Structure 1
Amino acid sequence: MKTEFIDVNDTRKNLVVEIPSTVVDAEIDKVARDYSRAARVPGFRPGKVPAKVVRQRFRDQILHDVAHGLIPRAVDEALRERGVEPVDTPDIKDVVVEEGQPLKFTATFETVPAIEPGDYASLTLRRQEVRVEDAAVEEALERLRERAARFEPVVDRGIERGDSVQLDLTRTAIAPVETAESLIVIPGEPVPRPAPREQTDTHSNVTVDIGAPANPPGFDEELSGMT
């Protein structure tokens, strides 16, 4: 196989390839045999179509398959031998493939440019001074203390703000009945309001922080002092 690398510019390269006719003809024979086994031609039984008929009837398809089989392998081999690594998929053009003739094509691709580091050894850097305020240190330490804190039972006093309390929580919501069947309208009389109904859900072993902003109004006051 003949190959030639042409530098279009610092990064763009052309690879001109010529694959010998012997390799091309051997690939044509292989592809033609595959077509002969699968071809359906009137007047011939499946798998019994003569090779000459297959080559004539499916000439363009066979040459297309031959090119698609040989070109990628040739490009990979040429790039490995030269130690070239494209940064994109090579663009294949100018393909010439005929029985009894060499397969010729050109592959165009981009490569990584050569980079000169320059005189980096003379560069100087100034370390930026970082000042940490005492308040930021205390805030970080407090977060660490909270994450590492252990819960200790309290037995000598009631619940206070800042305590974490474990309890069973039942939540009750009042919702009106909005079904049409629940209303009886009498002409001339006020339309009755639907009777309210309760919706409850219960949660066990819930941990609540007394004084947390998310607590509903009056929640902390109701629990404060309890034991």
Structure 2
Amino acid sequence: MQVSIETTSGLERRLTVGVPADRVDSEVNNRLQKAAKDVRLPGFRPGKVPMKVMQQRFGAGVRQEVLGEVMSQSFQEAVVQENLRPAGQPSIEPRNLEAGKDLEYVATFEVFPDVDVQDMAGFDVERPKAEVTEADVDNIIEVFRKQQGNWGTVERAAQDGDKVNIDYAGTRDGEAFDGGTAEGSDLELGSGRMIPGFEDGIVGMSAGEEKTLSLSFPEDYHAEELKGAAVEFKVTLNSVEEMKLAELDEALFESYGVTEGGEEQFRKEVSENMGRELRNAVESRVKQQVMDAVVDAHEGVDIPQALIAQEVDAMRSQMFQQFGGAGAQDMDLKSLLPDEMFAENAERRVKLGLVLSEMIGKFDLKADADKVRETIEELASTYEQPEEVVNWYYSNQEQLSSVESKVLEDSVVEKLLEGANITDKECSYQDALAQAQAGAQN
């Protein structure tokens, strides 16, 4: 097999591969001879079809099949021979496919870059320092009580937190505008669902009352024609409901998985879950900062466009599924969710993956079995039957590999933190969670 290699630009390589004709022709003949034993054609006994006839009837199709397989196999052999690491699938351009002559084709593809791991000692990390207070537990329990509570009609003026039923009609310069009118619409006051001033204007109104609100749409409103527009809403309040919180009783406790121990045990488990959530949030925030530092320290890394394209496709599919995507076969997802939406984050993810992979090798890190087990048990602890969840992870190779990858990433983070400047910053439980969430969205 003849192989020549050319660097076209950056990470792109072009391989010209020549494969001896005999490798293709002999495989075609072998397959035709094997098929002749079973093929049935009019005028010939089973197993007695002449090779000339087999060539005429099936030769072209079999050859096409063999050519595809030989090009795929020989490409793999060529990249091994030339010590190349392809990133993504190659583009194959046949040069000569003629029977009896050497097969020749050109494969164009990108290779993985050589990543020079930078010394990152001295980078800064701000670590949230918080604790779960009794007040935090009270707040979460009130959320639970609200989730299990019921709305009930009240005969009083509307207050923040109430649910109101309203009719409204919006006008701009005396003319109605699209989306500005509704009847019998439920609205929770304080939810921030409507434009600024709308919900505040309803506070203090009573059932049957009408009111005109003079407001302005935000300058960053999604509808271009309404950005910053001055409008009026005529609002009629039909009814007011307040939330009746669920009682702190056995029914509430059982709905959250606590069947014994009453309120004391319920509070204990809520506090433990919040503590676990806080630890995860702090670890996540610290990890986010380490990953940002890794990306910043390796700005010059070349990134294969093929890997970015793959990551964009994966992110697009993930977003589509998150929004309950159905009937994808009938949609042009690239038009609905264009590449530009994901390109920046995709490039960051790919770069991060390349650098972390190189760091794992440089630091000679392995996915410690005890840490993998500990991580799985932590994930399983929130389920009613944790042992079943643990067994599921260990019986599902894909899920187990995902946990192992996380453990390896965490090992890289621990290694890099050894040389970091870490500053603890006091904050509340809610602030710690908010910081982690904000970092995850960036």
TM-score scaled by length of structure 1: 0.53
Give how far 1:99 is off.
Answer: 2.5
Matches within 5 A, 1:121-200: 124-126=122-124, 128=126, 139=132
Runs of 4 or more, structure 1, over 4 Å off, are 115-118
Q: CA deviation at 1:105?
A: 1.4
Change (3 A) 1:56 1:8: same
Offset at residue 2 of structure 1 (A): 0.6
Greater Cα offset, 33-42 or 74-83:
33-42
Query: Is 1:55 aligned to 2:67, yes or no?
Result: no
Give the root-mean-square deviation of aligned CA atoms.
3.6
Q: Distance in 1 between matches of 2:95 and 2:28?
A: 16
Q: Secondary structure at the match of 1:74?
A: helix
- Asked whether the equivalents of residues 31 and 65 of structure 1 are also in contact (C-alpha less than 8 Å), the reply is no
Match of 2:261 among 202, 207, 210: 207
* Matched-pair contact (CA < 8 Å) for 1:41–1:49: yes
Q: Secondary structure at the match of 1:58?
A: helix
The alpha-carbon deviation at position 94 of structure 1 amounts to 1.7
1:45 aligns with: 45
Structure 2 vs 1, CA of residues 95 and 41 (structure 1 numbering), >3 Å: closer, same or farther? Answer: farther
Aligned to 1:79: 79
Specify which structure has the higher proportion of helix. Answer: 2
Tell me, yes or no, if structure 1 residue 31 matches structure 2 residue 85.
no
Mapped partners of 2:113, 2:93: distance in 1: 23
Once the two structures are TM-superposed, the CA of residue 80 in structure 1 deviates from its matched residue by: 0.8
- CA shift at 1:127, angstroms? 6.0
2:68 match: 68
Contact 1:32 1:54 in 2 (8 A): yes
Matched residue, 1:100:
100
Q: Is residue 7 of structure 1 aligned with residue 61 of structure 2?
A: no
2:32–2:51 contact (8 Å) kept in structure 1: yes
- Cα pair 1:93 1:106 within 8 Å, conserved: yes
Give the conservation status (yes or no) of the 8 Å contact 1:96–1:104: yes
SS state at 1:104 partner: strand
Distance 2:6 2:101 in 1: 23
- The whole-number CA distance in structure 1 between the counterparts of 2:123 and 2:62 is 65
Q: Distance in 1 between matches of 2:88 and 2:69?
A: 20
Query: 1 CA distance for matches of 2:36 and 2:67?
Result: 19
Q: Distance in 1 between matches of 2:107 and 2:74?
A: 10
- State the alpha-carbon separation in 2 of the partners of residues 111 and 44 from structure 1: 53
Which residue is 1:198 aligned to? none
Superposed displacement of residue 46, structure 1: 2.3
Aligned counterparts of 2:65 and 2:75: Cα–Cα separation in 1 = 16
The Cα offsets for residues 42-65 of structure 1, whole Å up to 9 and x where unpaired, read as: 211222111111111212102112
Write the letter of the residue equivalent to 2:36: S
Long gaps (5+) in structure 2:
137-249, 252-258, 268-442
**Identity rate, percent:** 26
Residue by residue, what CA displacement relative to the aligned partner does 1:5-59 show, whole Å, maximum 9, x if unpaired?
A: 1212111111111111222221121122133223332211222111111111212
Given the superposition, is the C-alpha separation of residues 105 and 124 from structure 1 closer, same or farther in structure 2, using an over 3 Å criterion?
same
Structure 1 gap ranges (5+): 144-201, 214-227
- C-alpha spacing 1:207/1:35, structure 2 compared with 1 (3 Å): same
Question: Distance between the aligned counterparts of 1:4 and 1:53, measured in 2?
Answer: 38
**Is the Cα–Cα contact under 8 Å of residues 28 and 59 in structure 2 kept in the other structure?**
no
Q: Deviations over 1:93-134 (max 9, x none)?
A: 22532331111112221112344567x57x753565x685xx
Kindly indicate whether the alpha-carbon contact (under 8 Å) linking 1:63 and 1:97 is maintained by their aligned counterparts in 2: no
CA distance in 2, matches of 1:57, 1:11: 44
CA gap 1:27/1:131 in 2 versus in 1, 3 angstroms: closer
